[in-house]
Amino acid sequence: MWKKSWVLAAYVLLSGITLAVYTNHFGNSFHFDDFHTIVDNVRLHTLNDPMQYFRDPAAFSVLTTHQVFRPLVSLSLAFDYSRGRGATAWFHYSTFFWFLVLVGCLLLVFERVLHSSVMALAMAALFALHPVSAETVNYIIQRGDLYATLGIAAALFTYAAYPRLRVTGLYLIPFALGALSKATALVFPLILALYLWTYEEQRWQRLLLRLMPAALAAVVLGTWIGRMTGAAYQPGGFAPGLYRATQGYVTWHYFYSFFLPTDLTADTDMKVAASYADPRVLGGVLFLALVAAAIYLAARAPQWRGAAFGLGWFLIALIPTAMIPLAEVANDHRMFMAFPGLCIALGVLLKNWLNHRVVSAPWLRYAAVACFAVALAAAAYATRLRNEVWRTEETLWQDVTVKSPGNGRGLMNYGLTLMARGDTKTALDYFERAARITPFYPVLEINRAVAKGELGRQAEAERHFRNAIQWSPGQSSGYFYYGRWLNWQRRSQEAETNLRQAVQLNPHDFQARALLSQVYAQRQRWKELRELVEETLRIAPGDPTALHFRMIVEANELASRAAEKTAIASGSPESHLQMSLTHFRAGRYLDCVRAAEKALQLRPDYAEAYNNIAAGYNALKMWDKGIEAAKQAVRLKPDWELARNNLAHAMEQKAAAVKAGQ
């Protein structure tokens, strides 16, 4: 009982120290993937339908290429968004709470595998204060790594600590929750197999039998996750063979970073090996061979078997990101799930070393404690520095440009932060530097276009927009930003065409939907606006922009009915013309024509009525009748620009329709 109380008190103290180290991170901003998964993702901004995250992968991100199935992450983000109304502090509070829970769970796991409460506490403190952990704790959307690691640790502890409950499958619950947070947790059966082989069962027949429930659960969960992942999802990687061949070197980089994390960066510029003869490939193979040999040798000695388990955990946790080619060959937040294994291996090493030397040299115990305390203090200081780096988009990407100068995306993102504060000229310099490193990057091309547009270089801007669409015709972003630029250039018809294409390619591009709604309202395309608003609200019932435009549509419809009553009561041509106009705004184009025709019956030379008829027929795409009515309006009022525009539009559209039909 005393031992449990001591460990609990130590954990509370460690939690307090960890909180003190992380006090400078709670106000940090959104970053990188946070924008398409949280900020721009309207479906996370309300909790009206929590189950949507379990049935629709599109709820995870507005980008079709990033729509993976992580329902528990989405649900937690929606909950945090509703509590804090989008303020980042609430997301950080939530992530940090579960981080402390994970530290406590790892403390329990370490205690069981290290057989030492003191060493378990030391390794838990190392994990809690290690600056690599800050790469995940600060990156809101990557809480999936935290949840997945927590699921594995909780499942392993439940299995190890309560053997009588194994038959109930209770330990599979945290495993399933972790896998539904991020699919990397599906490696749990391998970690469990390693634990059984290390500590309980070396007869492979019985080991496989014990492993069967976890393996079956992994197959079921993996199948479900695979089927629920969006059809357009793209991991982003290329050259799969060379990517995997480079992962040995990447594993060495992660291993090295555990002991000397001086080069942490949010976006590394590490590249895939150019060939299989690349020294990094050969060096990586050699490193993996050395680790495998260390695992084999450690497993043969009882006092070192825990080190074999820890090193095995480290390698197993990296399997998903090593085997699936991703856009980045390495990423520092990927170390998070692997580092508990290195903590275990280091704990075994320190424990055995102290037990071996302390009899003849007791002072080594005090020296070791002092050195470890200094290491923890250094780690805590480095973590606070990383928290400062993650403060804003500008501080983060400026750090990337220093740590990863060969990263075109990093240069681009830093340029975006400069453009956001008005320094467009310097931002463009960074974009041009990035273009020399990554010359065919559609997102960069969009940003070059936006920057040149702001600097008044419109012809160049349009060329860059067209390049972005040409290089990535299946993505909505190029069409959206080009449409936005076209709308600024008062080319609203072309803007509408591009925005419609953006929405067609990605129905969850809510920025494109919002701007298309605005363009429809500007062009008085009321019927189309009503249809777009209704469609948007079916996808995201709480979308504030769609609700705003629905109010406009409903107001137009009310005005239409009121004008109809007034026209009937008055009987004047003016009242029927007003009724025609309100019908048009409500999207009732045929009623618009009929009301204008009634006005013509009362006043045969009413140019405004002819113009309304032309507008109504144009909206119905009945170009011949639109041309005929517009000609009458122009005949009666030759200098009326609106009527001449309606005539020109109808003639252009008819010519385009004839050309398309040839």
Instruction: List the CATH number of the domain containing 585.
Output: 1.25.40.10
pLDDT(2) > 60: no
Q: Does residue 607 lie within any of the structural domains?
A: yes
- Determine the average pLDDT of the residues in 28-45: 93
The per-residue pLDDT for 384 is: 97
Does residue 124 sit in the same domain as residue 173? yes
164 is written with which tokens? 């009588």
Single residue among 551, 575, 592 that ends a domain in this structure: 551
Q: Does residue 445 lie within any of the structural domains?
A: yes
Does residue 360 sit in the same domain as residue 509? no
Does residue 51 sit in the same domain as residue 181? yes
Does residue 360 sit in the same domain as residue 422? no
- Determine the average pLDDT of the residues in 195-213: 87
- Determine the average pLDDT of the residues in 637-645: 89
Q: Does residue 559 lie within any of the structural domains?
A: no
Above pLDDT 90, what percent of the chain?
Answer: 67
φ and ψ at residue 326, rounded to 5 degrees: -110, 170
Residue 376 CB coordination number (10 Å): 18
Q: Could you give the CA distance from residue 478 to residue 411 in angstroms, rounded to a whole number? A: 20
Single residue among 389, 413, 429 that ends a domain in this structure: 389
For 561-585, b/e burial (b = at least 16 CB within 10 A) is eebbebbeeeeebbbbbbbbbbbbb
Q: How far, in Å, are 62, 82, 284, 299, 581 from residue 312 at the CA level?
A: 37, 40, 16, 10, 74
Does residue 578 sit in the same domain as residue 475? no
Q: Does residue 473 lie within any of the structural domains?
A: yes
pLDDT(587) > 80: no
Indicate the residue type of 264. L
pLDDT(235) > 90: no
Range of 630's domain? 564-661
pLDDT(404) > 60: yes
Above pLDDT 70, what percent of the chain?
Answer: 97
Q: Could you give the CA distance from residue 494 to residue 623 in angstroms, rounded to a whole number? A: 19
Does residue 308 sit in the same domain as residue 402? no
- Determine the average pLDDT of the residues in 620-637: 90
Does residue 320 sit in the same domain as residue 421? no
Interval 407-417: pLDDT, tens: 999 999 999 99
Single residue among 389, 405, 438 that ends a domain in this structure: 389
Q: Could you give the CA distance from residue 624 to residue 32 in angstroms, rounded to a whole number? A: 51
Does residue 67 sit in the same domain as residue 162? yes
Q: Does residue 556 lie within any of the structural domains?
A: no
Interval 140-152: pLDDT, tens: 999 999 999 999 9
- 171 band by pLDDT with thresholds 50, 70 and 90: very high
Handedness of CA 195, 196, 201, 205 (dihedral sign): negative
Does residue 313 sit in the same domain as residue 410? no
Does residue 284 sit in the same domain as residue 301? yes
- Determine the average pLDDT of the residues in 160-169: 93
Q: Could you give the CA distance from residue 414 to residue 404 in angstroms, rounded to a whole number? A: 12
Interval 107-139: pLDDT, tens: 999 999 999 999 999 999 999 999 999 999 999
Q: Does residue 537 lie within any of the structural domains?
A: yes
pLDDT(356) > 80: no
Integer Rg of the chain from CA: 32
Highest mean pLDDT pick, 91-95, 544-548, 571-575: 91-95
> How many domains would you assign to the chain?
3
Does residue 8 sit in the same domain as residue 146? yes
Q: Does residue 443 lie within any of the structural domains?
A: yes
- Determine the average pLDDT of the residues in 555-565: 70
Q: Does residue 557 lie within any of the structural domains?
A: no
The per-residue pLDDT for 361 is: 64
Contact of 347 with 119, CB cutoff 8 Å? yes
Does residue 317 sit in the same domain as residue 463? no
- 662 band by pLDDT with thresholds 50, 70 and 90: very low
The per-residue pLDDT for 403 is: 92
Mean pLDDT score of the chain, rounded to an integer? Answer: 91
Q: What is the pTM of this model?
A: 0.85
The per-residue pLDDT for 307 is: 95
Interval 590-601: pLDDT, tens: 888 988 998 898
pLDDT(543) > 90: no
Interval 13-35: pLDDT, tens: 999 999 999 999 999 999 999 99
pLDDT(284) > 50: yes
